[in-house]
Amino acid sequence: MTDPCKIKEGNTEYSLGAYDGTHLLYDFKKVLHYLHAKGQLLFGPGFKIYEDDKEIIYKLVNYFIREEANCKKLHLDMNKGLLLTGPVGCGKTSLMKLLRHIVPHQKSYELIPCRNIAFEFNHLGYKVIQDYGNQGFYCFDDLGVEPQGRYYGQDCNVMGEILISRYELFEKHGIRTHITTNLNADELEERYGNRVRSRMRRMFNLVSFHATSKDKRR
């Protein structure tokens, strides 16, 4: 196995910590340095790591690198997925696109906007729910902004049905799902119902940006 703590971007090699052939020891400052550089490559030179966000990034980094002791202290269950919440523009989607790059030796997830899934349903029907209720590894982005699904005159809460399918995969096979959303717990329950909300409590670690987090897109 090559050193998973070393990541090459173009002609530059970044070290995220130390690897002795068996154990990984990550250095959070080095991880932040890499995230800043990779973020600028992905999102442009205006990308930066905000001081106010370092606490939440620390939580997410420990989850992604599967640092068991720190995850326990941070009340994160490594067997569950992430439910990343926060106001519009706080950086949820960017972080979920970015953080998977610090663990290239792990299986990555596909990040899919929930709006796209609803539009797929309107075109292809219930096959879409079956497709996303499979054993793939997904991050569903912007849960709650998607329109109601409608196929041949029948309305369907598409993401609600997919989440129930994902719950069954989680219970039977331990397959995780990640989500980003602007909605709080009450709004999620209002949109998807108590049945889905109760399953989400079992499936996800709730990680929240502060309600006053700034909109980075302005």
Q: Is residue 65 part of a domain?
A: no
Q: Is residue 90 part of a domain?
A: yes
pLDDT of residue 33: 96
Q: Is residue 54 part of a domain?
A: no
Q: Is residue 195 part of a domain?
A: yes
What does the chain come to in residues?
Answer: 218
Q: Is residue 2 part of a domain?
A: no
Does residue 62 surpass a pLDDT of 70?
Answer: yes
Residue whose C-alpha is closest to residue 100's, from 90, 112, 109: 109
- Contact present, 192 and 157 (Cβ < 8 Å): yes
Q: Is residue 130 part of a domain?
A: yes
Q: Is residue 138 part of a domain?
A: yes
Q: Give the residue, 28 or 213, on which the prediction is more confident.
A: 28
- Lowest average pLDDT, out of 112-116, 118-122, 139-143, 212-216, goes to 212-216
Residue ranges in the chain assigned as alpha helix (H): 28-43, 54-64, 68-73, 92-99, 114-124, 127-132, 158-173, 185-203
Does residue 1 surpass a pLDDT of 60?
Answer: no
Average pLDDT of the chain is: 93
Domain extent at residue 199: 78-208
What does the alpha-carbon distance between residue 81 and residue 161 come to, in Å, rounded to a whole number?
18
pLDDT of residue 173: 94
- Contact present, 186 and 194 (Cβ < 8 Å): no
> Residue 203 maps to which CATH number?
3.40.50.300
Does residue 170 surpass a pLDDT of 80?
Answer: yes
pLDDT of residue 135: 84
Confidence of residue 140 (pLDDT cuts 50, 70, 90): very high
What does the alpha-carbon distance between residue 192 and residue 21 come to, in Å, rounded to a whole number?
46
Number of domains comprising the chain: 1
Q: Is residue 117 part of a domain?
A: yes
pLDDT of residue 53: 94
pLDDT of residue 215: 81
pLDDT of residue 133: 87
Q: Strand 149-151 and strand 154-156: pairing?
A: antiparallel
